[in-house]
Amino acid sequence: MFRRAAGVVLVLMGCGSRTGLRDEHRDAPVDVVDASEPIDAPNAPDAPDAPDAPDAPDAFDAPDVPDVFDAPDVPDVPDVPDVPDVRDAPDVPDVCMPVADRCGRSEVCGNGLDDDCNGRSDDGCRCVPGEVQPCFEGPPGRRDVGACRDGTQRCLAVGQWTACEGGISPQPDVCNGQDNTCTGCLTDLGCPILCPGPGDPRVPDGRPFAEYPLRGGLFFGGRAVAWRWTVRGGPCDQLVTMGSFALTSPDQRDAVFRPSLSGDYTVTLSVTLPDGSALSCTFVVHIAGPGLRVELCWDRSNDVDVDLYLHRPGSTAAWWSSVGASQPTQDACSWANCEAVIRGELPDGRPMPRADWGYGRSALSECQDGPHGPTWRMLGFCGNPRLDIDNNLSKARGTPENINIDRPRDGETFRVMAHNFTGTLTHPLVNIYCDGRLYGTYGAAPDLVRGFAATGGFARGAMWRAVDVTTRVNAAGETRCELREVHPPGATSGYDVTIDNVRF
Ligand SMILES: [Ca+2]
Ligand SMILES: [Ca+2]
Ligand SMILES: [Ca+2]
Ligand SMILES: [Ca+2]
């Protein structure tokens, strides 16, 4: 503990007054967005002019309006591949044929669909606790049609799926440029607000730590008296005080969203018109970091220090050489050997070598906008593996913690462990993202990790071995993951939490 505290002080002295993630956000240059980011891709539309343009209602017809506004004007666009029961006469070509709902008599398991159209996807199906799957809680035929978009559902410890959360399911239609009913028939002509659906170039994928401009003028070109942006994030955002993102100028036409984690973020824009009426858009922004991203958060991230460890594949060495050891072994990536500044020490007092598992270093673009960006820029590379955020209550608090491997190899297995450094009882939560998709979440309510506290001060204390992650990387470099939750030795369920036991 003392050694580590001293290390923290050194870091602070050596690297200036970086007192927390929030300060990092404030200090970041406003124009960080550069041409390499997807937001500014060449085909991204420009924001229409200021909202007080004299011919505001006609703004969408202006010649410089991006093409995307014209897309919804085509009434016959929806491609209806298989409509088994065509009720309308075939001699009415101008009437849009809604997609078939494809409701069945029974639920089909494992597809994330509500096959029997009872309002719940994969209800009654068995699943592996902790796993997460994409899901859609509308009629199966409307999945990915119009505004509809998948959410995710996670498997509870009882082996059943939660409700589908975070997606967009069919809604009564409102005039907003979207096919809200998700039937493939868009009737939204001349609407005052034009909301984006999946795949819309106005809402490209983003990357962790990169600023994501939210430009209200892309969606509403009329006169407004008030703007309001809200963002809802992933599983950790229900737990940590600072959340997985920062949102600046949320009451302006143009706001900036800055995510620190992979995953799907639900963004809502609300616009108040001069007559007091309101319009709104809700859409999903996908933030995709490459490779494997392990994220840890806990419910007392302001006053309890928990540390994330990722074990080197091909080794089952203990996490520490002994219960009384002051430094972890080098077979894991952690605060000791994976941050921009190395804080771990060898027995002779020299700094621990940086974790190197043979992947090569990553380009600066992977980490330079993160909380340790200035130090990584001085080094000229991003570590790989790398600990991007260490919530250690001095440099950062109220944040999640995460470890990334930007380019993992195929077929390697990594064990994820959380260590309660402070010792005070808290409930940790681990999320596993691969190529930006959430594959698993462990420790979320109601399946809290129990007994994650240690008496007796700063011995090795409470450790939770959460999950073994096996990476599947194809020839194109795409990463999928297979997860196996870790249970106590000999058990087939339950969390593997130990006190003062440093075994793998
Ligand atoms: Ca199903
Ligand atoms: Ca169902
Ligand atoms: Ca609509
Ligand atoms: Ca920590």
Task: Tell whether omega for the bond before 446 is within 30 degrees of 0, i.e. cis.
Answer: yes
Query: What are residue 284's phi and psi, to 5 degrees?
Result: -110, 130
Residue 198 pLDDT: 82
- pLDDT string in tens for the chain (504-residue length): 333 433 333 333 333 332 333 333 333 333 333 333 333 434 444 444 444 434 433 433 433 434 434 444 434 444 444 544 434 444 545 689 999 999 999 999 999 999 999 999 999 999 999 999 999 999 999 999 999 999 999 999 999 999 999 889 999 999 999 999 999 998 888 899 999 988 899 999 999 889 999 999 999 999 999 999 999 888 888 776 667 888 999 999 999 999 988 888 999 999 999 999 999 999 999 998 899 999 999 998 888 999 999 999 999 999 998 888 888 989 999 999 999 999 999 989 999 999 999 999 999 999 998 889 999 999 999 999 999 888 877 777 778 899 999 999 999 999 999 999 999 999 999 999 999 999 999 999 999 999 999 865 555 789 999 999 999 999 999 999 999 999 999 999 999 999 999 999
Apex 126 CA angle, 123 and 132, nearest 5: 80
Cα–Cα distance for residue pair 180/159, rounded to 1 Å: 33
Task: Find the 152 Cα to ligand 2 centroid distance in Å.
Answer: 15
Structure tokens at 22: 């929030």
| Nearest ligand by distance to the CA of 338 | 4
Element (H, E) at 61: none
**Residue ranges covered by each domain of the chain:** 32-77+186-287, 290-499
**The one-letter amino acid at 316:** T
Positive/negative CA dihedral, 437, 442, 481, 338? positive
- Domain 32-77+186-287, classified CATH 3.40.50.720, yes or no: no
**The one-letter amino acid at 79:** D
Residue with tokens 């106590």: 488
Structure tokens at 137: 């809680």
Residue 459 pLDDT: 54
The protein residues having their C-beta less than 5 angstroms from ligand 1 (an ion) are: 108, 111, 113, 115, 122
The closest alpha carbon to 198, from 159, 145, 252, belongs to: 145
The protein residues having their C-beta less than 5 angstroms from ligand 4 (an ion) are: 305, 307, 391-392
Query: What are residue 395's phi and psi, to 5 degrees?
Result: -75, -35
Cα–Cα distance for residue pair 215/250, rounded to 1 Å: 11
The neighbouring-strand residues paired with 296 are 401, 430
Q: Other CB atoms closer than 10 Å to residue 348's CB: what's the count?
A: 5
| Nearest ligand by distance to the CA of 112 | 1
Cα–Cα distance for residue pair 354/386, rounded to 1 Å: 9
Residues 6 or more apart from 67 whose CB is under 8 A from it? 45
Cα–Cα distance for residue pair 66/61, rounded to 1 Å: 10
> Residue 96 has what DSSP assignment?
P
| Nearest ligand by distance to the CA of 280 | 3
Structure tokens at 167: 């997606």
Residue with tokens 């608090």: 397
Cα–Cα distance for residue pair 189/180, rounded to 1 Å: 13
- The string of DSSP letters for 448-483 reads PPP----SSSSSS-EEEEEEEEEEEE-TT--EEEEE
Cα–Cα distance for residue pair 141/81, rounded to 1 Å: 11
pTM, 2 dp = 0.80
Task: Find the 445 Cα to ligand 2 centroid distance in Å.
Answer: 23
6 half-sphere exposure, CB direction, 13 A CA radius: 6
Task: Find the 50 Cα to ligand 4 centroid distance in Å.
Answer: 45
Query: What are residue 2's phi and psi, to 5 degrees?
Result: -65, -45
Q: How do 245-248 and 254-259 pair as beta strands?
A: antiparallel
Positive/negative CA dihedral, 185, 187, 190, 194? negative
Task: Find the 179 Cα to ligand 3 centroid distance in Å.
Answer: 5
Task: Find the 83 Cα to ligand 2 centroid distance in Å.
Answer: 21
